[in-house]
Amino acid sequence: MNTHNLSRIISIAKGEKKAELVLKNAKVVDVFCHRVIDCDIAICDGLIAGIGKYDGFCEVDLHGNYVMPSFVDSHAHIESSMLTPAQYASAVVPKGVTTVIADPHEIVNVCGEDGFKFMIDSAKDVPMDIHFMLPSCVPATPFDSAGCVIDGDETKRLFEKYNCFGLGEMMNFPGVLEADEDILKKLSYADIIDGHAPAVTGNNLCAYTACGIKTDHECTTTEEVIEKVSMGMYVLIREGSSARNLEQLYPAINKDTLRRLLFCTDDKHLDDILSQGTISHCINKAIEMGLDPIDAIVMSTLNSCECYGLKNQGAIAPGYKADLLVCGDLSADNILKVYKDGKLVAKNGKALFDCPDIDASTVMNTVNIKPISLSDIEHNFDPKKTVIEVFAHTLYTAGIKCDTKKGLNLATVIERHNATGNIGKAYVKGIDIIGGAVAQSIGHDSHNICVVGDNENDMLIAIEALGTQGGISVVKNGEVLGVFKLPIAGLMSDKPASVALEEYNKVCDALKLVSDNADSSLFMLMSFMSLLVIPDVKLSDKGLFDVNKWQFID
C-alpha cells in the first residue's frame, strides 16, 4: 500500500474522513476474543479501515444482522465438482466461500501443464481467491498409469513459471519414508506443503512431518487427530460427497486442539455443493452436533488463514481484507450477502458476477483407449481371489474373500490416456448394481475409466457411451439410460453450473434404475476404487493393489 492510501485509511479509521462503504448496525463476530461486537464496519480500498462508529459515502444498514469473515475451503479438488473454476466460484461464493486452497492434481494427471494452465486461466476473473498448489504426485504412485509425469526437475520448472502457492498433497507417503530422491527434490522447492498420510503414525509420522509437511486431511479417528496435532500439524476435517469425517472426528475438537483444526471438502460433487454448500455445510453440521458457533467459524476462517500464511485475512479487524458475510443468525445457514474485497458479489444465494468463457481446446478429447471386446472384460469368479469391499462415506476399502459371487459386481479399470490396452479386473462388494452397468472417466487420481456392473454386455456398452470426451454413463439391459458428458479432461462440464446440474441429475435418476439403494455418492465411491494411496485394497488398470504392502496382489 502506498503512502497516499495509508494516509487515507488512517484518516478514515480515525473517523476524520468518510469511508467508501460503511456497514451500519452490525453484530460483528470477533474471532480473536470469541465474542460478538455491536458496531459499524468502515471499508476502504478493499480493506477494513475500522470497526466502531463510522460514516460513509455509501451506508448499508444491516439492522443487527451478523457479520463474519468469509469462509476458506482449506483443501479442494475443484475438478471433483465437475465444474470449471469459474463456474465453481459461481456456486460456492453465494454460500460464503471466497478463498480456496486448490490442488488441481486431477486435471494435471490427465493433461499435465496444459491442465494446470487451464485451471489458472479459468480462475482469473472471478471474485474469489483460488490459491493453486502444484500437484506433487503426478502420477500418485509409481504404479499408476496417468496421462502425464511430473518429476522433481519439472516440479522446479513449473514452480518458477507459475509462482505456485505451494506443493499439493504428498500422497506418496511410502516414497517420503523411503527418502526417494525425486520426492525429496519436490519437497525442497516449497515452503507450504500439504500432506496425505492415512494411518501414518509413530516414528513414520515424525519422519513425514520432519520434511515440512504440516497438514493432513485423511484422519479417521480421534487418536489420529491428537497425534498429528501434537506433531505440529494442522488437521483438516473433511466433509465431501464420499468421505465424511466430521462425525467420527467431532470428539477431537476441544479447547486444546481447536486452533489447529480446519474444515475442507476435498472432493464434492456439484449437486451436493449447490444443495448443501461446502464449508457452510461443515459449520452448520458441527453446530448441530453441539460445537460452539464461533468455534466453528474460527475453524473456517482464522485457522485456515494462519495455516496457509494468508496475511490480514480471516477476521473482521482493521487492516484485514474486507472479505465478509452478512448472516441472519450466528451460523452459516442464512447467508444474506457476500462481500469480496469490499464489493458485494452475492446476495440471497445468487452470484452477482458473470463467468468468463475460457478456451478449453487444449484439455478436450482426452479419452484414448484401445478397442475393447467382451472377452477383454470377462472375469471368472475365483473364491481364492481377493474381493474389494467398499463402504459408504469413506475412501477406505477392505480386501475380503467370498465363497460365491452372489451380491458382487464386476469392476474393471481401463487405461485411457495412451491406449495401452491395460485392463484391471476384480469383483467388488458394496456397489450393488443390478441389471446394468455404470462407467465413468473419473478414477482418482490417474483418471482411467472405471466401470462396474453385473454383466459384461452392459459394461461394454457403458464404456462405448463415454466416447472420446468422457463423463458418466448408465446402462440397463442393453439400453443407455443416460450420459453426462465431461469434455474438459473427462472430468468437467463446459456448461454453466445450473445446466450441468440438470444433466448430472439425469444420470443420477438413471442410476436409481440399476441400483435400489444408490444415491449420487455412488459415483464418487466408484471414482476412489482406483486410488492406490488409500488403504486397504484398490484396483488399477494393472490389477489389484495392496496399499499397506505397497504391491500388486493376486
Residue 34, helix vs strand vs coil: coil
Rg, the chain, Cα only:
24
State whether 236 and 292 are in the same domain: yes
The helix (run of H) or strand (run of E) holding residue 525 is helix 521-527
Residue 65, helix vs strand vs coil: coil
Question: Is 0.85 topped by the overall pTM?
Answer: yes
**Proportion of the chain above pLDDT 70, given as a percent:** 100
Residue 351 falls within a domain, yes or no? no
Binning pLDDT at 50, 70 and 90, where does residue 21 land? very high
pLDDT above 70 for 35: yes
Average predicted confidence (pLDDT) for the chain: 96
Helices first, then strands: H and E counts in the chain? 18, 28
pLDDT above 80 for 484: yes
Neighbours of 198 (CB within 10 A): 18
State whether 235 and 280 are in the same domain: yes
Residue 353 falls within a domain, yes or no? no
Residue 155 falls within a domain, yes or no? yes
State whether 368 and 220 are in the same domain: no
**CATH label of the domain that carries residue 46:** 2.30.40.10
State whether 90 and 134 are in the same domain: yes
* 269-273, 485-489, 524-528: least confident range: 524-528
**CATH label of the domain that carries residue 257:** 3.20.20.140
Q: Are strands 335-340 and 343-347 parallel, antiparallel or unpaired?
A: antiparallel
Binning pLDDT at 50, 70 and 90, where does residue 521 land? confident
Residue 359 falls within a domain, yes or no? no
Separation between Cα atoms, residue 449 and residue 472, nearest integer Å: 10
End-to-end CA distance of the chain: 62
pLDDT above 80 for 520: no
pLDDT at 392: 85
Residue 211 falls within a domain, yes or no? yes
Binning pLDDT at 50, 70 and 90, where does residue 554 land? confident
Identify which of 495, 248, 549 has the alpha carbon closest to the alpha carbon of residue 357: 495
pLDDT above 90 for 50: yes
State whether 300 and 183 are in the same domain: yes
Residue 352 falls within a domain, yes or no? no
Total tally of structural domains belonging to the chain:
3
State whether 38 and 136 are in the same domain: no
pLDDT at 3: 77
Residue 411 falls within a domain, yes or no? yes
State whether 256 and 169 are in the same domain: yes
Residue 60 falls within a domain, yes or no? yes
Give 160's contacts (C-beta < 8 A, 6+ positions apart): none
The full DSSP string for 388-408 is EEE-TT-S-EEEE--S--TTE
Tell me which of 64, 85, 117 is where a domain ends. 64
Enclosing domain of residue 399: 364-552
Binning pLDDT at 50, 70 and 90, where does residue 5 land? confident
8 A C-beta contact, residue 236 and residue 213: no
The tally of CA atoms less than 13 A away on the side-chain side of residue 42 is 23
pLDDT at 441: 98
pLDDT above 80 for 8: yes
State whether 59 and 99 are in the same domain: no
Q: Average the pLDDT over 142-161 and give the result.
A: 95
State whether 81 and 44 are in the same domain: no
Binning pLDDT at 50, 70 and 90, where does residue 519 land? confident
State whether 58 and 106 are in the same domain: no
Tell me which of 41, 64, 87 is where a domain ends. 64
Separation between Cα atoms, residue 264 and residue 129, nearest integer Å: 15
State whether 506 and 370 are in the same domain: yes
In tens, the pLDDT along 331-341 reads 999 999 999 99
Binning pLDDT at 50, 70 and 90, where does residue 1 land? low
User: What single-letter amino acid sits at 89?
Assistant: A
Cell numbers at 70, concatenated: 468469509
State whether 121 and 54 are in the same domain: no
pLDDT above 80 for 518: no
Tell me which of 64, 82, 115 is where a domain ends. 64
In tens, the pLDDT along 280-320 reads 999 999 999 999 999 999 999 999 999 999 999 999 999 99
The rounded Cα 69 to chain-centroid distance in angstroms is 21
